[in-house]
Amino acid sequence: MQANASQMMGYDRANTMFSPDGRLLQVEYAKKTVKQGSATIGIVCKDGVLLVADKRIIDKFIVPRSIEKVFQVDDHIAAAASGIVSDGRVLVENAQVMSQQHKMTYDEPIQTQELVKDICNIMQKYTQFGGPRPFGVSILFAGVNEEPQLFLTDVTGIYFEYKATAIGEGEEQIKEILEKEYKETITISEGIKLCLRALKKVLGNDFDMKRIDGGYIKTSEKNFVRLDQATLKKTN
């Protein structure tokens, strides 16, 4: 067993090296990092799309509003990251630039899926180049073009479209709640309540409304709106 372990250790020193059983170990480590990140939930609603995330404030002296887990990418697109949030911030900033470049070039908003694909291309490159490590983050992209859409990026550079999903801490528990309670007819207001119930169950005594960050985009308006504390308390 020790010999096998020491042999495997050599294959995680570079993200370009496959192990004998065909795995990229640094990529697998990055996936584990995402699972240790704070909980993030995305839901497609009948009237738009919603993102809600836990800020996980670990120091009582931190000003809660200084921590951002849900980012505005464009008027019609938002993103939320789980894992190494600094990695997520860099990718989101890339997405913001891409979105603005597309608008300046073509005089129309970028399609959400097109933007997600471009970001995943960046993530994939870091799984095959020697030197830099893979991005240790997964990002939920929520957008409204013709209809509300929710996409999840994986550290490998692939992406999936979801009706509802969760990443980070307690994601399996949250997914179980979503599977039981999610309906395609759910409204944004009802979706916020569902997200808060799920986070309460996962966080337990650690749940605090000040830890919650979120935002939504309504299909009718195609404009990102950040959830403030007053709205959250009213919804709760």
Q: What is the pTM of this model?
A: 0.90
pLDDT at 53: 94
- pLDDT tens sequence for the chain (236 residues): 444 554 556 666 666 677 777 766 677 777 788 888 899 999 999 999 999 999 887 777 888 777 889 999 999 999 999 998 889 999 999 999 999 999 999 999 999 999 999 999 999 998 887 777 888 999 999 999 999 999 999 998 999 999 999 999 899 999 999 999 999 999 999 999 999 999 999 998 888 888 899 999 999 999 999 998 877 777 76
Would residue 16 count as lying in a domain?
Answer: no
Would residue 43 count as lying in a domain?
Answer: yes
159 is in which domain, residue-wise?
A: 37-235
DSSP for 195-218, written as a single string: HHHHHHHHHGGG--GGGEEEEEEE
pLDDT at 228: 84
Would residue 191 count as lying in a domain?
Answer: yes
Would residue 9 count as lying in a domain?
Answer: no
Would residue 26 count as lying in a domain?
Answer: no
Would residue 197 count as lying in a domain?
Answer: yes
Neighbours of 128 (CB within 10 A): 12
pLDDT at 114: 97
In terms of Cα–Cα distance, which of 164, 140, 136 is closest to 73? 140
Would residue 139 count as lying in a domain?
Answer: yes
Would residue 103 count as lying in a domain?
Answer: yes
What's the CATH number where 108 sits? 3.60.20.10
Determine the Cα–Cα distance for residues 40 and 88; give it in Å rounded to an integer: 13
pLDDT at 52: 96
Distance linking the first and last C-alpha atoms of the chain: 52
pLDDT at 56: 84
- Number of structural domains (the chain) is 1
- Complete edge-to-edge strand list for the sheet that includes strand 137-144: 70-74, 77-83, 137-144, 148-153, 159-162
